[in-house]
Chains A and B, each alone.
Chain A
Amino acid sequence: MRPVLIAFVLGTAAVWVVLLVAGFALGIAAQAGGWSSFRVGLGLATLLEFTREPAGTSTTFGPGLALAALLGGALNAAAAAWLHRRLG
């Protein structure tokens, strides 16, 4: 149980960090590149929303970030459980 729990926590943290920094980088690239407003997400779960307005631009993270992080953690935990079974 311990390896699976650790894998879930570490996997969640890993996906959260990567998506957060990549999201900000995407926002900066969009701002510099003069891109119009866009949204990244699945259904209602918005991961990131870039908005361009006359006053400036904004990058907002939605609940999709937390969901994606938890999904990443769950996948990592599943992989850890499989490895744990294989190692005996």
Chain B
Amino acid sequence: MIEATDVIELAPAVVMRNGVLVDDVRGVEVPLNPSARVALETAGTISDVAAALERLGAREPLRDAVTFAKQLNALLLVNVRAPLRDRVLRRLHALRYGIVLQAPARRLDVGTPVSFVRALTPTALAILLLLLPPALLAGAWVCAGAFAAACGVVVHEGAHAVALRGVPRALVFDGLKPSILHASVGPGRALAAAAAGPLVPALTAVVCVLTWRAAALACVPLAAHALGLTVAAPDGRNACGLS
């Protein structure tokens, strides 16, 4: 889904120092060859990067620039930005041929609770928009369940972030699916961080149900987060040290 007009930029907490790409969140260093260095120093669109690579003698500069952006984006080292209108048009165009495009991963710096909630708002809204129409037909408690499902995502990721307090971290979106990227931690901290996400919304549901039984229907989406504790889900595998 990366095209020539897209803008390539270093992800938050990723810097270039002495020709080496340094990821301050994961604490990793990626050495760059001269072409990669020139490409990253050329701030701007993929076309700008392609022009810079052409000056270095690349035979297929645009293809090289797109491949370069794709690889660094897959490593969560660069973000690729495109206007919303362009992204929607590309998706619609691909859908005509039965192809579902995958958006480039986005890595965001979420230093404050407000920025964290703001970053997760589109995901929560998407869940709400998806669930609300059928929920409206089913009644007030099911509508409350749709709201709980939307809020559950924020609570889930928030719990991961709180459990990782003091550890460098960033929020990563694969499409609308959020996850937390963080520095390597010990097995105990990894267990706590992985389990906190599914456990906090699930325990919220249990407390809510035990104190206000009538709200049970609305609590089901929050309780479903508990399934994330099993090894069928990435959080469960991370908690067990199986990833």
Show the binding face of A for B, using Cβ within 8 Å.
2-4, 6-7, 10-11, 13-15, 17-18, 20-22, 24-25, 27-29, 72, 76, 79-80, 83-84, 87
Cβ B216 vs Cβ A21 within 8 A: yes
Task: Across the A-B interface, give the 8 residue pairs with the lowest CB-CB distance, nearest first.
Answer: A21-B223, A24-B216, A17-B226, A3-B240, A10-B229, A25-B216, A14-B226, A14-B229
Q: Which of B10-18, B63-71, B125-133, B197-205 contacts A (4 or more CB under 8 A)?
A: B197-205
Q: Interface majority SS on A: helix, strand, loop or mixed? A: helix
Q: How far is the CA of A15 from the CA of B223 in the complex (A)?
A: 10
Cβ of A14: which chain B residues have Cβ within 8 Å of it? 198, 202, 226-230, 236
Cβ B236 vs Cβ A3 within 8 A: no
A62 to chain B, nearest CB (A): 18
A40 to chain B, nearest CB (A): 15
Cβ A79 vs Cβ B219 within 8 A: no
How many residue pairs between the two chains, A and B, have CB atoms under 8 Å in the bound complex?
94
Q: From the candidates A6, A10, A17, A27, name the one contacting B223 in the complex (CB within 8 A).
A: A17
Cβ A20 vs Cβ B209 within 8 A: yes
Cβ of A76: which chain B residues have Cβ within 8 Å of it? 230-231, 236
> What are 19 A-B pairs at a CB distance below 8 A?
A2-B240, A3-B242, A6-B191, A6-B241, A7-B240, A14-B226, A14-B227, A14-B228, A14-B236, A17-B202, A17-B226, A18-B223, A18-B226, A20-B209, A22-B220, A25-B216, A25-B219, A27-B213, A28-B141
Q: How far is the CA of A14 from the CA of B205 in the complex (A)?
A: 12
Number of interface residues of B (CB under 8 A): 33
Cβ of B206: which chain A residues have Cβ within 8 Å of it? 17, 20-21
Q: From the candidates A4, A18, A27, A80, name the one contacting B216 in the complex (CB within 8 A).
A: A27
Cβ of B209: which chain A residues have Cβ within 8 Å of it? 20-21, 24
Cβ B223 vs Cβ A84 within 8 A: no
Whether, in the assembled complex, B214 has its beta carbon less than 8 Å from a beta carbon of chain A, the answer is yes
Cβ B241 vs Cβ A79 within 8 A: no
Cβ A28 vs Cβ B229 within 8 A: no
Interface centre among B226, B227, B236, B239 (most CB of A within 10 A): B226
Cβ of A72: which chain B residues have Cβ within 8 Å of it? 230
Q: A3-B241, A14-B198, A17-B205 given as contacts; is B213 within 8 A of A24 (CB)?
A: yes
Cβ A28 vs Cβ B198 within 8 A: no
A72 to chain B, nearest CB (A): 8
Cβ A80 vs Cβ B203 within 8 A: no
Cβ B232 vs Cβ A79 within 8 A: yes
Whether, in the assembled complex, B26 has its beta carbon less than 8 Å from a beta carbon of chain A, the answer is no
Q: How far is the CA of A22 from the CA of B195 in the complex (A)?
A: 21
A76 to chain B, nearest CB (A): 5
